[in-house]
Amino acid sequence: MDSVSSSRSPSWTQDPKDEKVIGVTEDTYSGSEYERFLTLEAAFEGSAKKKLLRKLDMRLLPTLSFLYLMCSLDKANAGNAKLFGFLEDVGMSGTQFNLALMYFFFTYGLWEPVSNILLRRLGPKIWFPVIVTAWGLVTTLTSQVSSYGGFIAIRLVLGITEAGLYPGSYFILSMWYTPKELATRMAIFYGANTAAGAFGGVIAYGVGNLDGAMGWRAWRWLFLIEGVITIFAGLCCVFLLPAFPHQYNDKVSRWLKPDELDYASLRVKYANGPDSPTYEFRWGDVIAAAKDRKTYLMMMLFWWGGSVPTYSLSYTLPTMVKNLGYSAVKAQAMTTPPYIFATCVCVLVGVLSDRFQQRFYSIMGAYTLGLIGIVILWITTHYSHLSGVSYFAIFLAAAGYSAQAPIVGAWTSVNVTNPSKRAAAIGLLMLLGSVGGGSIGSNIYLSNEAPTYPLGFGFSVGATVLGAMIPATIHWYLLRRENKRRDGLDVAAIEREYTNEQLGELGEDSPLFRFTL
């Protein structure tokens, strides 16, 4: 549990397991902040840095991943509930059900940038417990839905409460990890989304056996159980989630020692050299994100290459597997292996992206894998004797479209240095991606076109190629061209013209900054 006080503990610390003693904190070093960072960088080289990263990983990744797991379950469990008689009990048609799923994304997407700005102002220890507990309560109340109007209302409120988790987690990770470490952590975090598909199938399989218990249909038990778990997770956030590194100014933490806390904060702040961005919140930085071309190009990737195929797959997969000839309950269980495979591929792509620092090629590889899966599935669903090949294609599609998401988040984060602008950019790129992608993705696989789904498959292929792969290539080309232009500039002349503070204010527009490709 995190604890803070008004003064630092003694700055000389030693761990008997460490090879060296580290004693460089703000209290013992009188040089500039950047010089202190360089001293800490040298002191933490080797085992001390690995130990710090393990501490960060063990505190941040399990907590955020579990929250995202619950968010993904609560968002997509309507697809599982549909197989347990939800439509018949509530008196909804399939079209009404799809419309209600679509309405969710309007409030979800519109609230994402707002939520990220509030997170930037309030910090994760305040904002995350509020939103997680709220959406858990909403999910629990979904078990009491009895009409189409009630379901619409509950989905609209659920969109507001869940909106902050995904973009907020990406922003939290970007505040603790350097650009070279970010994709791996975002992939591990996002793996919880694909794991949710696996857990969702297992949970739905188990809940299916509760059908009729205490007079409740299985779908009611599904919403109740997942909602109660989420409420408990939200309350735990108060103790498990740390504040932002810079929020520990003049405070100490039992989680990190003073020198570790200093280094954790400074290594991200000065990841791009001495020209550090300001950590003061300014509305001008939010406006700058809204005016930045990079925000909208990355929005295209998140929208067409991520949200449309991912949401359509998550909502349709149980029904799609059922169409291959399995019962409703067994179909739930059969959705688990593709998502387990997708989780493994997602993490692998993230690790490779960090190792080789190639975001564009990682994203394009993921899109290609997902595209191959969709095309094979599109063809084989016309032939009932190829159900095995269709099931294999689901593995490829789920893996490819899952693996691209964390790299899109990492590519955005590493190329926007100012924290306030970064928070706004992540929220804005997800706004249209969620509204457009979610609303479209939940309506392109029409039940009256099953099992071949010509509109759904055709739209997914077109969205991937035209809406994601082409914009990704344009974005990569423009960043590479700008890097080459800056390589030809006179560094000495730039350093004479600008102070470090001025270069820091310029952020990624600084002529000394190089974009990650």
pLDDT block averages, 10 residues each, the chain of length 517: 37 40 46 86 92 94 90 76 86 86 86 93 94 95 93 94 93 93 92 71 75 85 91 92 83 81 91 81 90 93 88 72 67 77 92 94 96 92 86 91 92 93 91 76 80 89 94 97 96 90 89 94
Q: What is the pLDDT at residue 203? A: 75
CATH class of this structure's domain 47-509? mainly alpha
Q: What is the pTM of this model?
A: 0.83
CA distances from 343 to 78, 350, 352, 354, 460 (A): 22, 11, 14, 17, 21
Q: What is the pLDDT at residue 326? A: 67
Q: How many CB atoms lie within 10 A of CB 499?
A: 10
Closest CA to 300 of 480, 466, 476, 110: 466
Q: Helix and strand tally (H, E) in the chain?
A: 22, 0
**Where are the chain's structural domains?**
47-509
Structure tokens at 103: 């309405």
> Do the beta carbons of residue 171 and residue 120 sit within 8 Å?
yes
> Do the beta carbons of residue 490 and residue 497 sit within 8 Å?
no
**Cα gap 493→484, rounded to integer Å:** 17
* Alpha carbons within 13 A on the beta-carbon side of 69: 22
Q: How many CB atoms lie within 10 A of CB 482?
A: 16
Q: What is the pLDDT at residue 331? A: 65
The DSSP annotation for 10-53 comes to PS-B--TTSSS-B--STTT--S-HHHHHHHHHHHTTTHHHHHHH
Q: Tell me how far apart the terminal alpha carbons of the chain are, to the nearest angstrom.
A: 38
Query: How far does Cα 217 stand from its chain's mean position?
Result: 33
User: Which residues contact residue 193 at a Cβ distance below 8 angstroms, ignoring those fewer than 6 apart?
Assistant: 68, 69, 72, 402, 405
Q: What is the pLDDT at residue 114? A: 93
> Do the beta carbons of residue 515 and residue 479 sit within 8 Å?
yes
Closest CA to 136 of 115, 157, 114, 110: 157
